[in-house]
Copies of this chain bind each other. A is one copy, B any other.
Amino acid sequence: MADEAPFQFLHSEVIEYIYKSADSGEVENGRNITKLENMGLRVGQGLIERLTKDTARFKDELDIMKFICKDFWTCVFKKQIDNLRTNHQGIYVLQDNKFRLLSHLSAGKQYLEHAPKYLAFTCGLVRGALSNLGVKSIVTAEVSVMPACKFQVMIQKS
């Protein structure tokens, strides 16, 4: 039994709940995505606070990103990010070849359009975690072949 199952099932129910209680349509879909993203944001903030309680200070931004890819990802998804790339100018791409919150969807192309609602929470999760570590960012996600998934993090210099 996978340890992350209770979290996965609850995550699916939350999406179901939010989409069922709202009207359909483009505008509403956008609002629902925002709701999920905000929920992820707060969960990410809470989690990272607990996770870094006894951690040494991070050296730099890359050090923080590595922590997100390893410790943070493992805590939530019971696996690490498979690949981390950066242009060394504030853009990071985190690739998960078997993203857990997509793995229950069929890999068929016809489900690709549903992917965004399964990614919004996690985009918020990453943004929330980073924000609590003092890093402001914009996080987006894209899927080309399910259940592989890329999260792009754009650091916002202030």
A50: chain B residues at CB < 8 Å are 1, 5
Q: How many residues of A contact B (CB 8 A)?
A: 26
Complex Cα spacing A64 to B1, Å:
18
A111 close to B (CB within 8 Å): no
The verdict on A17 contacting B35 (CB below 8 Å), with A5-B75, A7-B10, A50-B5 known, is yes
A43 in complex: contacting residue of B6, B42, B46, CB < 8 Å: B6
* A51 contacts partner chain B, Cβ-Cβ < 8 Å: yes
Interface of A is mostly: helix
Give the residue of B1, B11, B17, B51 whose beta carbon is less than 8 angstroms from that of A10.
B11
Contacting pair A6 B47 (CB below 8 A): yes
A25 to chain B, nearest CB (A): 18
Starting from the known contacts A6-B75, A9-B47, 19 additional A-B residue pairs (CB-CB under 8 Å) come to: A1-B50, A1-B51, A1-B75, A3-B3, A4-B6, A5-B50, A5-B75, A6-B7, A6-B43, A6-B76, A7-B7, A9-B42, A9-B46, A10-B39, A10-B43, A12-B46, A14-B17, A16-B42, A21-B21
